[in-house]
A and B are shown apart, each in its own frame.
Chain A
């Protein structure tokens, strides 16, 4: 039971985030109104996505250094869970954009860049499906994964910072932090980061265990 304390923590933190996230008093920032509450659900999704993609690329590197097929299972599962959180982040962001930017799919660079990032990882999954030999699939997709991750950093981190975006916190649009003077939003946001990341790791471990059961003839 001692090993599972972090799962209980994840549930408690998420319960707190959901209840407090919808009920605490938040500062009204510009035209955002109550839609700022999306922050507690939207921003953590990206952190989960990056956590998963980092786990994925680290396991790809470990695979290439030792050719252990288990590492490939870790890498592909993490990529899949990462895409799930990426899609959720995109969906929560688009929902917010519908009411504040006036369009679900705008040509805002941040939205476009994340859509491209998701496409890159979907290409990774398609690449995996197209190769039938397991060892070869593991090797080639590990190479592509490292290649994609290296290009993902400039794409989602450097380019959106350079161009002007409507997204809060970019070049000319102020973020939420300076308006949140009594740090009420921070009190929910930081637990939300931890809670959602723990949940993503939990989902990831479950998916890995399922995958290992599927392939139990190979991993003896």
Chain B
């Protein structure tokens, strides 16, 4: 097998990130605890919320989980290590690896958040298969956008507050789309442009991937 073709390089970087995650488990368990305690706080404050509120709270939890989980993917890299990677691989493969790794991470986190919400906040979902697929799609969309923003924030002195300032306005349309799409999992509502919303979400994801691959090399030119 050739060692230096692009796919091989990207996969190696993903593997390295996963290996790091396995070894430094504190980060993973940190986010896990973050999810459970957030949901638990909601449970303590309002018990079992009704459908619409449940949906809204779930996506807000997802948003904060995404910020926390994805932000650290660049922050855990020290400056020296980044320089080392820079000398080894093309930046495009590096950001591709980060995107893939964050998708995996967010898919796992989304499922955990879903499980915690169902356990602690009750289960108003009437169409579970549909809702799970929307949650996975949402996890992927959130992780893609925040990966690029984390890369920008990492250049600007690793400030997590900055990521929230940049990220929240940008993520709002995606979040609105997601919460609109997922309403169908709770109630039988008439949504004539549901397929269009899926297309739009897919299109936005594709746009974010393309922009990340094109723009990241410019970020890395230090």
Binding site for B on A (CB under 8 A): 64, 113, 116-117, 119-120, 123, 126-127, 130-131, 136, 139-140, 142-144, 146-148, 150-151, 154-155, 158-159, 162
Contact = CB atoms under 8 A, between A and B. Distances in A.
B218 A144 contact: no
B96 interface: no
A134 to B, nearest CB: 13
Q: Is the interface of A mostly helix, strand, loop or mixed?
A: helix
Given A139-B221, A140-B156, A162-B196, A155 B211 contact: no
Interface in B137-177: 148, 152, 155-157, 159, 162, 165-166, 168-170, 172-173, 176-177
Contacts, number: 75
A143 B152 contact: yes
A120 B170 contact: yes
Contacts of A150: 207, 211
A154 B205 CA distance: 12
A140 B218 CA distance: 8
B22 interface: no
29 contacts: A123-B165, A123-B169, A126-B165, A126-B166, A127-B152, A127-B165, A127-B166, A130-B162, A131-B155, A131-B157, A136-B155, A139-B219, A140-B219, A142-B218, A143-B215, A144-B152, A144-B166, A147-B170, A147-B215, A150-B207, A150-B211, A151-B207, A154-B200, A154-B207, A155-B173, A158-B200, A159-B177, A159-B200, A162-B193
Contacts of A120: 169-170
A155 B200 CA distance: 11
B156 A148 contact: no
Given A126-B162, A130-B162, 9 more contacts: A127-B165, A131-B157, A140-B152, A146-B211, A151-B208, A154-B173, A154-B203, A162-B193, A162-B196
Contacts of A147: 148, 152, 170, 211, 215
A123 B173 contact: no
Given A140-B219, A150-B207, A159 B155 contact: no
B116 interface: no
Nearest to A109: B176
Nearest to B221: A139
B204 interface: yes
Contacts of B165: 123, 126-127
A116 B200 CA distance: 18
B204 to A, nearest CB: 6
B211 A116 contact: no
Contacts of B204: 151, 154
B189 to A, nearest CB: 14
Contacts of B221: 139
B156 A131 contact: yes
A116 B218 contact: no
Q: Which of B157, B165, B169 has the most CB of A within 10 A?
A: B169
Contacts of B173: 113, 116, 151, 154-155, 159
A151 B196 CA distance: 17
A75 to B, nearest CB: 14
Contacts of A131: 155-157
A131 B162 CA distance: 11
Contacts of B156: 127, 130-131, 140
Contacts of B157: 130-131
Nearest to A148: B170
